[in-house]
Amino acid sequence: MLFKKTVQVTEKKSSAHEKYDADVIIRTPTGGSLTFSQKKNGEHYEDNSWGKILFSNKNYSADLSRDDRFYIEDGSSKVSPSGKYLIVNSVSGGTVEFGDGTSKYTERAYCSVVDMSNGCIVSDWDGEACGYTWTEGKDVLASSEEVGADIFDFNSMRPSIIKMKDKLSSLDARGASNLLRCDAPSIENIDKYQQLARENKSNKKIALDAILSFLHSRKEESSVIERANLFSAPNNSSQTKNYLIPGDKIKVIQYSSDRKWVNVGYINPKNIPLITWIKSDTIAQ
């Protein structure tokens, strides 16, 4: 079986107007789980409506909920054949006021694919694709099992910091947190996370914490042997006004193909990290 659903009952003091609350938990072979909690009741809610969804694995937990939606779990959330992906159904509803003084409650249904290995919301969409299902034996969403059926390439929507280019300054906290789950800092993208910390003040701490964690995982260390000017890229035209001084300790991330430049991480006395490029002849070899 690819997944297991668990119902946890939290007992409350008995009351004529109270019922037991039951969280629904979906676990997958990847080690991740998704908990639907805070049962929603009322005129516009279905019987299986929830206010919160919480992802967790052995390393961390993350609240994937949106304040403007409630979540539906009645057995319709579909795990992919490998157990890696889960489709989560949600609804955004509200009252629309008209000029004649009347109003109408309207809803829009959404479908999200969650990577159950890390909690990444890979894609979030509405419309016709919400009716697509997993094809037999493959992590592919299609309109049917028939040959030539329309396929929804949800993985092409996976957030990537490199693809974001000039959008980093406008990224909100929800987007930044999801980006870190979807595209964790690596030697390929760490410069972009430094850019995020520099350009997005509201998410600077999130970015710096991620950079710091990345640098602590790096094993190769060195030290500066002469004043090292800092560059944002491995070329002379990207020089900044800042520099490192002899004796500064750095973590080596990668060298340029010609070995003339080295991408390094520096952590200052206030425990604030910096990712930069310097000339390789300025560090101990």
In eight-state DSSP terms, residue 161 is H
CA distance 275 to 265: 5
Identify the architecture of domain 161-282 in CATH. Roll (2.30)
Beta bridge partners of 96: 104
pTM of the predicted model over 0.95:
no
Give the pLDDT confidence score for residue 171 in this predicted structure.
Answer: 95
How many other C-beta atoms are found inside a 10 Å radius of the C-beta of residue 199? Answer: 16
Low-confidence ranges of the chain (pLDDT < 70): 1-21, 75-76
Task: Give the pLDDT confidence score for residue 75 in this predicted structure.
Answer: 62
SS3 state of residue 63? strand
What's the pLDDT at 121? Answer: 98
Largest separation between any pair of C-alpha atoms in the chain: 77
Contact 99, 45 (CB under 8 A): no
List 229's β-bridge partners, or say none.
243
Domain residue ranges of the chain, discontinuous segments joined by +: 4-157, 161-282
Mapping DSSP onto H, E and C, the string for 113-167 reads EEECCCCEEEEEEECHHHHCEECCCCCCEECCCCCCCCEECHHHHCCCHHHHHHH
Q: What is the pLDDT of residue 20?
A: 40
Q: What is residue 21's predicted lDDT score, i.e. its pLDDT?
A: 57
Q: Which residues pair with 223 in a beta bridge?
A: 249
